[in-house]
Amino acid sequence: MSKLNQFLSGVRVLDLTRHLPGPLATLYLADMGAEVIKIEPPTGDEARSLGRKNANGRTDFFDAIQAGKRTRMMDFTQAEDVEAFIELVKTADILVESFRPGVMDKLGIGFKRLREINPGLICCSLPGYGSGTPLSHAAGHDANYLSLAGVLGATGAEEKPYYFNPPVADCTGSLTAVTSILGALQARHRTGEGCEIEVALADVVMPLQTMTIAELNGTGQSPEREKELLNGGAAFYRIYETKDKKHVMLGSVEPKFWKAFCEAAGREDLIARQWEPTPQTKMIKELDALFAEMTLAECEEKFIPADCCFTPVLNLQEALESPYHQARQLVRKDDKGAYQALFPVYVDGEAPALRPELIEESS
């Protein structure tokens, strides 16, 4: 066990969430040593059937996202299960739930009641849309939150926006929840009181757009998709195709890196053109032609030593086997040969330990 895996030793978490955002948040809490008890409805979390079933009768995704936790089935329409849950609340530190606003109250386990039972309880809600809004009770998924926040409107090619994976709002919501919970735990050390935290997934991507919001402040205009510097509008920050139909990423934003790239490419004439207005169509075509004459191996031989923010575009298997990720050991195989993407931090020079398996309890 590493130091990371002991950070939250003695902290008990009740997890009423499903799918990805909540379970990923509680996975991180479990990684830091918290005891996480996942409460599922009698039918089980829908994630149990999302994807290929394994030898346990569950999906690989479900097992991965619930690793290190204990799970119990409870039916909140039954009084005895509500009372059993209340007993758990009495000794809990944190409750994480992802129902739509108001559902916890309807189930008879709203935060007001729970806080009367346990004044130190920290309750974190992860709804799709924030309470008290026109969309409070609307259904949504990651792409909906990104489209509503203006992210998809600035992403993709000129002809249409692109959606992408991993799901940005879901994962950012997880990290925001964990950050907020840890802050609330620190505050509770001072006051002895818990609190109610709401992290709406539709809200969490706005702070990620600080750069483009600043641009809107300065120009009075929303960024145009085809002109976006970080969306392919700039020749120095763009994906290119090689002669052998592979792809490479050039990220030479700083002038020193752009200069290093141009010198390695034998195109010193491009150095002074770095900040031409976007979209830099003419220069992009020139670099398209340059990379189209070189294989991936030739590109790596020429540009990696130049230290110009150049990388190959890898698929997942290639990434896992790359020298960098092999050296970091933050994605490792367990004793069954399954990869685990571990909590991505080192503590005192030590990587996190592998996660134990999910434990399913009968009651």
* Positions marked active-site: 141, 170
Distance, in Å, from the CA atom of 310 to the CA atom of 303, rounded to the nearest integer, reads: 6
Nearest CA-CA partner of 65 in 21, 23, 25: 23
Other C-beta atoms lying within 10 Å of the C-beta of residue 171:
17
* 291's tokens: 């990379």
Q: How far apart are CA 196 and CA 279, in angstroms?
A: 46
Q: Which of 244, 356, 273, 263 is nearest to 307 (CA)?
A: 263
What residue has token string 């990720």?
325
Interatomic CA distance for residues 66 and 44, integer angstroms = 13
Antiparallel, parallel or unpaired: β 70-73 and 94-97 = unpaired
Q: Nearest Cα to 15, choosing from 158, 154, 124, 160?
A: 124
